[in-house]
């Protein structure tokens, strides 16, 4: 797998991850809808510790997950792009927002998650699982 590179809209933050992605999911949770301002977010999980910020440092909004544990939503304070989410309930991974990747040609979402809050007009890919909430650990 090619090394992961990406950046926010304004370019103040650039990141890289040397590790191969663990999974790709489309998240329809209400929090992702609000944070991204759209119907869902596409997340690429990378192993915790593999993500390096080459330029800039993101700001953090500390959210609370369904588990009751903190969720750290990191974003560019200059342009507002969501960059990565760290979920205390899933401590082995970081969840990159795939829209910030330089190269998305390899992206292939493996599952839809939080399908219970998906917007009704979103057409699901029926060839991949549609999970009501968080993916099973
Ligand atoms: Zn930015
Ligand atoms: Zn979500």
CA of 42 from ligand 2 middle (Å) equals: 9
Nearest ligand to the C-alpha of residue 12? 1
| Domain harbouring 80, CATH code | 3.90.1590.10
Enclosing domain of residue 49? 4-117
Q: Is residue 43 part of a domain?
A: yes
Give me ligand 2 centre to Cα 27, in Å: 4
**Nearest to residue 89, comparing CAs of 109, 103, 73, 69?**
69
Residue 137 in any domain: the answer is no
Residue 112 included in any domain: yes
Report residue 121's pLDDT band, with 50, 70 and 90 as the boundaries: very high
Q: How far is the CA of 33 from the centre of ligand 2 (A)?
A: 7
CB contact at 8 A, 95 and 31 = no
Task: List residues bridging with 70 in a β-sheet.
Answer: 64
**What is the structure's pLDDT at 3?**
78
Ligand nearest to the CA of 59: 1
How many domains are there within the chain? 1
Residue 44 inside a domain? The answer is yes
Tell me whether residue 132 is in a domain: no
Q: What is the pTM of this model?
A: 0.93
């Amino acid at each position: 797998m090619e090394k992961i590179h990406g950046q926010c809209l304004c370019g103040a933050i650039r990141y890289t991850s040397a590790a191969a992605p663990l999974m790709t999911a489309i998240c329809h949770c209400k929090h992702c809808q609000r944070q991204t301002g759209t119907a869902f977010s596409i997340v690429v999980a990378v192993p915790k510790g593999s993500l390096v910020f080459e330029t800039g440092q993101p700001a953090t909004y500390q959210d609370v997950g369904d588990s009751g544990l903190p969720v750290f939503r990191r974003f560019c304070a200059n342009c507002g792009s969501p960059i990565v989410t760290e979920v205390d309930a899933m401590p082995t991974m970081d969840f990159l927002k795939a829209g910030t990747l330089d190269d998305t040609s390899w992206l292939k979402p493996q599952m839809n998650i939080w399908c219970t809050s998906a917007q009704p007009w979103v057409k699901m890919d029926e060839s991949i699982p549609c999970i009501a909430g968080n993916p099973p650990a």
